[in-house]
Structure 1
């Protein structure tokens, strides 16, 4: 439950200032994401957030990240439906959906060093002329993901660990709704009638288009990016939001 008082949208009478139920956003088991490094004793990652805008400098949902043991969590589970928030911003209420993890190789986009960007400029132009797409359109996945580079909508904002001062590692991103076309469209979501289309122009199966993904906008197609420090023993985390 979120009992903080800095909600951007005040709770209207007769609801009053009661705590707001947080909503589950991501649940990952170690067995399903073998490349994700879990802290010792944990094999379950859960992210929940308060679905109201918080005035904490980022003006977004207020998330919490938990590393857990699946066995211990299951033993303490309570039967029945989880509580629903009595008031919420619709953009922060995910549609129930499952994950189908797919491995992808990506490259820095906004995080490309400035000097390297200038050095490769001519090659990028040639690539666009030859293939019909821009490097910055296809370098980094836009979907929600574990690892890789944040698909920043605005300028990169990498955090440093408050405890040891080192730059934190990108853990995962929860981004806007899944794209309906392009290179990063998962294979099992593509329209089978477009087998001959280039991967960067392929479109989704229209039957599935409105059913996959969490159906959240997160501002103007932005994202919530989570970072951890693995040097510190308690694996501290923080987040960034852009839109």
Structure 2
């Protein structure tokens, strides 16, 4: 369920002492309590590029990886949970269109893992060399939800419509 709330409404509310639990639930489907460390980044598309651009970026990425050890997909795209940016598709892109005809925009991704790739908040990085690696302790601090293999849930919104309808896509 997605609910729209204003910043004023959130700020005026009291903080919860305990994490609310659903009436009935299976532990496997409820996220572990964790901390959010927002980090602003500029992200670029991965699967969503035109074919000719994708081929050029692929060639450049191979060269980049050969010389630096980091590919385009490691440095400029992410599959972690995020607000905005591009969906971290693990399968072919499936952008939804609203009933008004507009392509909906990516609002939110909840990813199966928070400990993959190079995009980690400063608070969660370790630097045993040129790359960032995640310790087992930090891996355990992830939300702990299993969403298939390595996919996620992608939420989309249409801001062209007055009620901002949302839909979601899931891939794994």
Larger relative contact order (Cα-Cα within 8 Å, sequence gap ≥ 6): 2
Give the TM bin, normalised by the shorter chain.
0.7 to 0.9
Q: What residue in structure 2 maps to residue 184 of structure 1? A: 119
Structure 2 unmatched ranges of 5 or more: none
Q: What residue in structure 1 maps to residue 22 of structure 2? A: 84
Are residues 78 and 95 of structure 1, via their aligned partners in 2, closer, same or farther at CA, if it must alter by over 3 Å? closer
2-structure distance, mates of 1:116, 1:84: 46
Which protein has the bigger helix share? 2
Shift of 1:135: 2.1
Contact 1:191/1:206 (CA < 8 Å) preserved in 2?
A: no
Shift of 1:84: 2.8
Q: What residue in structure 2 maps to residue 236 of structure 1? A: 165
Shift of 1:126: 1.6
Are residues 157 and 75 of structure 1, via their aligned partners in 2, closer, same or farther at CA, if it must alter by over 3 Å? same
CA offsets per residue over residues 1-50 of structure 1, 9 Å max, x none?
Answer: xxxxxxxxxxxxxxxxxxxxxxxxxxxxxxxxxxxxxxxxxxxxxxxxxx
Structure 1 unmatched ranges of 5 or more: 1-63
Which protein has the bigger strand share? 1
2-structure distance, mates of 1:83, 1:207: 25
Q: What residue in structure 2 maps to residue 34 of structure 1? A: none
Are residues 209 and 161 of structure 1, via their aligned partners in 2, closer, same or farther at CA, if it must alter by over 3 Å? same
Contact 2:57/2:72 (CA < 8 Å) preserved in 1?
A: no
2-structure distance, mates of 1:89, 1:143: 22
CA RMSD of aligned residues (A): 2.7
Shift of 1:83: 4.7
Corresponding position: 1:108 with 2:45: yes
Corresponding position: 1:203 with 2:133: yes
Q: Give TM-score, length-normalised by structure 1.
A: 0.62
Q: Give TM-score, length-normalised by structure 2.
A: 0.85
Moved more, 226-235 or 97-106: 97-106
After TM superposition, list the pairs within 5 Å mapping 1:78-227 onto structure 2: 82-88=20-26, 90=28, 92-162=29-99, 164-179=100-115, 182-191=117-126, 194=128, 197-198=129-130, 201-211=131-141, 213-227=142-156
